[in-house]
Structure 1
Amino acid sequence: MRVRSAVVLGAFALVAAGCTTGGHALPAPLPPVPAAARALVAWSQAVCTSVQALQGLQTGIDEVNHTAADPSQAGFLAPEISSYVSGITGRIGQAGQGLKSVPPSGIKAADAFVTQLGKSLDEVTEKAPSDTTAQPTLAQARELATTVAALKPAAADLSKVVRGDAKLNASSNVAPACAPVRQFGPVDAAAPTRPLVEWADTMCGAVTAAMALKAQKIEDLIITDPRYARLSGFDLGSFISSAGPGVARLVETLGTVTPSGIPAADKYHDGLLASLRAVAPKLPSSDSQTADLAFQPVEQLKPQAEQIIGVLATIALPSPDLPAIEAANPVLAHSHDVAPQCRPLGSPPPTLPPAANGTDLGACAGGKCQVLVTGQADITASGLTFTASVTLSGVRILQDSGELSFGTGGSGSFGTPGHMVTVRLAGVLDGKAVLDISTG
């Protein structure tokens, strides 16, 4: 036993002295894994979500071909072709729109990947039937399938890109939508973890949605401008029929959250879920009545909406609040700080992004501008006039043909083919909104 102890001690002495064993140098220690960056986590989340939408695109045509080869299934062929084509174009469109909204990462290979994948998806879109109202043919479906089959496996290429940059690798590995790419090296004990980033991201989104429901006001639903007063019925009807399903979706989302393992955090989650579950039965359960409600008089819809607003106001947000709970745990705090739907702890109060043209609405006449709107304003862009009305959490675009509503980052278009106005909401705060307006 004494001899064995001496050998072990000798081995430790060699390591401590930095000596070699058996004539071979000891390997140099691996560099530490870099900290995940919030911007790169958001980039990874958006890109991985788009890439996921492309998985399995090549398999759908097999079922179409099988049906086409069986005369007894002739009656099912047309709807199956339609389903296949619409499914492909829908998923390609979803992925393409997601990629277009991804800001540059600052990493050459990563940004080149997004650009190239976007071009490939545009090529597929060009092969899709242009007349969406007509029944696509079998030949069109097969041509689309051939184009889709030529797409390179995006997931494999993305993994190579991620592996090529240590910071992107660390950030991608904690993004909930991304498949982890193995990374070697010591990790800081307080570094964000994938499960806690997912927990924080889901909770931040749920809390934001619950606060928006709780803060709903009747003033945001009724259009007082006589030019568009007829649209109030639609807004009220839409709100009445969607409030219940909105709460139900939050209940479903929170019900699938994996516990964080942090007692205070899980208590907050359970408290919010219980509050939403208590509110849900008091609200209309279906959002399928919008069309019927929209034709009811505003005087009849307003009391219903006010009753629902009263119910939503009873949503109780647990105390202490989520940021306070997360700040008490270093790993959860760091996970929160990189989660895309969360505002970093200790960050300054939110502000509006700068508007290039300030409050000069006349700058929009040429068809392109970025302006600050307070309350409500009439804007003319490239000869098309519309009214922008700022709400609590978004903007309402009113014009003769109807209404568009969306929140920060959202956009809408109106006009005629070849002469469209697109409005994007860059930010909204305290009754003011920054709008990016373009035409094309």
Structure 2
Amino acid sequence: MGRSRGVAVVVAGMVLAVGGCGGGADEQAAKSSAGPKPNRSPSSSPSAELVEWVGDMCESTVALENLRKESAADLKEIRDADDETGMLAHARALGYLSATPADVETVAGDLEALGPSGVPAADRLRDALRKKVRSVANELGAQSPAVGLEYAESTVADLDKRVQSLTPPEPDLPALTKKVPRLAAAYRQAERCAPGWKPDASSGKGDSAAGPLPKAADGRNYAACADGACEILVTSTADITAKGTKVHVIVADDSVTFQSGGTVMQLGGAGGEAGFGNALKATVVAHDEEGAVLKFGLP
């Protein structure tokens, strides 16, 4: 009897011990399944606002990268310009000085309109980049586009150095994504942060939506302008004599420059008119990266 009672006690003890272990494991598993996941939901599901914010930052970064490339290319074109009068380099320099400050100002405005992201490190990056771009935009905006012929190249070279300084502060956005999981998730979801993303072509220069240049009535027959009335195509440079007025024309990608005597007039890619006293006027009928159709006539 004593022996069987002892066995019963041992067995009961074992049951209690097993029951105790089993109940604790089940309770712990229940708590684990009911409790919050550690920091996973913010990274896997960033807010739409954060994704949009990150996309805006990526777009500004791409815009600055393109500005640096275009500025370097423009400076090279100016230095490589082969023109006896020096007017081709001068015209390109004037085009640079009229377009580049406006482009930098656009990026500065976009950054200044960008609100907080809610991620402190990302907001510090925005503030630092905003300050840098605004400083350069102010410096370029203070530069007069009316630069003397002898200073054109050196002026553009100086401004190009400032444009080349427009790089994102460190740590940049990709570096921050390695430290902030929800910023990384937003970065992956933002289309404008994808490798190779480019701005909408319809907003850039050289928009092909306008179609090819219209046919000029007199083609490249510049002699047709002698009587003061003609419509011609100029793809690079041309010397026109119309009603006794000599005009040197320079067509660049985004501008048309007219030089007559000591006067230089430059029109943007949207067209316009250049007047030469009471004797003559020139109208930009159409203009793209291939050339310009110009109409000369009486004012």
Normalising by the residue count of structure 1, what TM-score does the alignment of the two structures yield?
Answer: 0.35
Pick the structure with more strand per residue. 2
Q: Which has the higher contact order (CA 8 A, sep 6+)?
A: 2
Query: Looking at CA atoms only, which structure, 1 or 2, has the larger radius of gyration?
Result: 2
Normalising by the residue count of structure 2, what TM-score does the alignment of the two structures yield?
Answer: 0.48
